[in-house]
Amino acid sequence: MEDAICDLEASIVLLEKEQKTIEQNIAARKLRIEQLRSQILNQPRESAPSGIRTKARLRKGEGLVAIENVLHNADGPGKTQAQIAQETGISPSSVLRILQRGEGKKFVKGQDDLWRKKT
């Protein structure tokens, strides 16, 4: 009987050590999760020169504003769709859609295939 009690007590000591190790591992992982969440919240938004584009989906009208900012000089040489996409950080297909929707109203495509802001 005494041997059984000693064996049980020894196994309890081992289990308590394992429990302490597991609790430390859990605490370390929880701390890491909080650090990562903090980094996400404090991470600066990726932005293009216009300061409009972020990695998140654009709100309605933000793409138009970004393109208007890039084409701010109506008398300037104009820009290609690819140049506008690069400067705004908006995908080329979205830039084309926005330009086509605004063609004649806000934007003009010249014979040289360069887009300009309508005067």
- pLDDT (tens place) for every residue of the chain, 119 residues total: 889 999 999 999 999 999 999 999 999 999 888 888 887 777 655 544 555 544 577 788 888 888 888 888 656 788 888 888 888 888 899 999 998 888 778 888 888 888 888 77
pLDDT score recorded for residue 61: 84
Q: Are 96 and 71 in contact (CB under 8 A)?
A: no
Q: How far apart are CA 66 and CA 85, in angstroms?
A: 10
> What pLDDT was estimated at residue 53?
45
* pLDDT of res. 48: 47
Report the C-alpha gap between 57 and 45 in whole angstroms. 12
Half-sphere exposure of 63 (CA within 13 A, CB side): 23
pLDDT attached to residue 54: 47
